[in-house]
Structure 1
Amino acid sequence: MPNQQGNPNDPRSEVSKKKDHIARGDYTPTHVGKATFFLLRGIEPLLQYSILARGLGTSLIHRVGLRTLPPGLPAHSGVSLIDGLGLSPYRLILLGMAVGAAVKQNIWVTALSGEPMPVGGAVAVGILNAVFNSISTYAFLLTATSASTETEFPQPALLIGSSLYVVGILTELVAEIQRKRFKANPNNKGKAYTGGLWSYARHINYGGYTLWRAGYAMVGGGYTLGALVGAFFAWDFTNRAIPVLNEYCEKRYGAAWEKFKKDTPYKLLPFIY
């Protein structure tokens, strides 16, 4: 976690600072930390490929008496790079989700985030993503939990989950790009960004993250896993991240933030919460 003690640009209580994963108002360069983040997120899809294509870890699953899906027929897209992976269409989509998440987050850490990224924080994020991605992948492989339970392709859980994933990850990315452009204008120094997608929910980036995480899990483990993962991140954001960020914004932006809360009543997802 970043060390936020003594940061004059963060007026929050020490309790709130400890709960936050980002050092608000601190723009100290952390090249090693960001490089670590970039590397860990960049190689993580290789883990998912090893599970999907090579059955990494499935021998342990079989030893406890659980069954896994057969590999399925490889996709034939006509693109040698894709076909060379030897994955079925469903497995290709799961791998694509891991790659898409890694690309999005590496865009964020290199081009959109100005706050520090210590090495410890980068490792923690890498582990978090590897764990949640692997949960979805192994849930797909297990016959008892897999969303791929029907003979026809694509299955409803795949269609719904993929839609949530695309909408969520694009919402998160576009919202962060909009805020970055606003903050890059010297005329907006000291102002909170309240336009674009942020005018629909005050923490729309968190809402986007929740959606794509739920969608990813749904594609792997069906509706139950998707609901559980979505509920977990919604709970974390509403009980930890949003309150501590709201405290920061209240103290930093004052009346402007109060007006924003009045004009934009939704915190996480438009018309829902």
Structure 2
Amino acid sequence: MASSSPPPAADPRDNLSRIKRSSPLGTALFTSIRTADIFIQYGLVAYSLATPRLHTIGVSALPPFLPGAFSLPTLANFTALPLQARLIIALAAASSIKHVYWLFRIGETEIRPTDAVAVGFFNTIFNSLNSIFWSIAPLAPLLPTAAASLLTDLGILSPAPRDLTSLTPAFVIGTALAVVGLTLETTSEIQRRNFKARPENKGKPYTGGLFGVARHINYGSYCLWRAGYAMAAAGPIWGGLVFWFFYYDFTNRGVPVLDRYCADRYGEDWQQYRKKVKSSLLPGL
């Protein structure tokens, strides 16, 4: 049975509030930051806004694809971009749309203004790194010649000059992982929302659907799409580093924090769920 004790005190390592109430300021801030990120990534990719700074430190980067000063995207400008550029921008936009959808249609807890700013800019930083690393043309000059040659032969780095109208195996696989991860994360959260919306399920943990595969499948899916997005932008090495970063954070902070919260909230029901579903983030992990 679920515990009847009051909600546990907030864990200082928890990035989100677990209190169910509205938060107009936090909602407005998070929505604004995540929406603005779409235009930031559009500027970094289409107008190569980071290129002048990269040149000052001796790093070769792609020139602007669109003439003139930065302007808001139009369909004509977007379709004029090479295929890889369009897909990188699309992945950034998809991540923002997913987050805003979660905020308005899935999440029930407040989003504190400080959390809105921190989480919003955190995602913008990672998206911007992807856009900047993608714009480095090619990545090979940053590596020793032998290593660059080997990685190019393996298809991890694109040869110079880079063909931006075609897709490398790493780009295709990364994009696919990002789409799968975003889909799994959103689907799992919708399944849980629908379960909790039914009065008869009040006070019960959701253990079905995708959460029957891994207890924190939404966290694991976040790792997946973050890594895939990074892989599409800059290859398997960057994608692997990003996956490790989020996997480490979730296994050492996010999952333990949420496990303690759920154990206090759901009691024996949660303990039985942990025994039944061994995987934490993804099947086998």
TM-score (norm 2): 0.85
**Amino acid corresponding to residue 233 of structure 2 in structure 1:** G
Counterpart in the other structure of 2:144: none
User: Aligned partners of 2:75 and 2:171: how far apart in 1?
Assistant: 19
Identical columns (%): 38
Question: Deviations 1:61-115 (Å, cap 9, x if unpaired)?
Answer: 1111110135579xxxxxx954422311100000000100000000001111111
Alignment check: 8 A CA contact 2:48 2:64 kept: no
Select which of 24, 35, 53 maps to 1:31: 24
Counterpart in the other structure of 1:43: 36
Deviation of the 1:252 alpha carbon: 1.4
More RCO (CA 8 Å, sep 6+): 2
Aligned 1:66-85 pairs, distance under 5 A:
66-70=59-63, 81-85=74-78
2:12 partner SS = helix
1:142 matched to 2:146: no
Question: Deviations 1:116-158 (Å, cap 9, x if unpaired)?
Answer: 1111111111211110001111111112438544547111111
1:125 matched to 2:138: no
Counterpart in the other structure of 1:245: 258
Deviation of the 1:40 alpha carbon: 1.1
Aligned 1:110-121 pairs, distance under 5 A:
110-121=104-115
**Amino acid corresponding to residue 256 of structure 2 in structure 1:** P
Deviation of the 1:55 alpha carbon: 1.4
The gaps in structure 1 that reach 5 residues or longer are 1-7, 74-79
User: Aligned partners of 2:158 and 2:101: how far apart in 1?
Assistant: 31
User: Aligned partners of 2:134 and 2:271: how far apart in 1?
Assistant: 45
TM-score (norm 1): 0.88
Cα-Cα RMSD:
2.0
When the two structures are aligned, how many residues end up with a matched partner? 256
User: Aligned partners of 2:46 and 2:280: how far apart in 1?
Assistant: 40
Counterpart in the other structure of 1:211: 224
Deviation of the 1:11 alpha carbon: 2.0
Alignment check: 8 A CA contact 2:176 2:228 kept: yes
Select which of 16, 38, 46 maps to 1:22: 16
Query: Higher mean Cα deviation, 37-46 or 81-90?
Result: 81-90
1:202 matched to 2:215: yes
Counterpart in the other structure of 1:108: 102
1:127 partner SS = helix
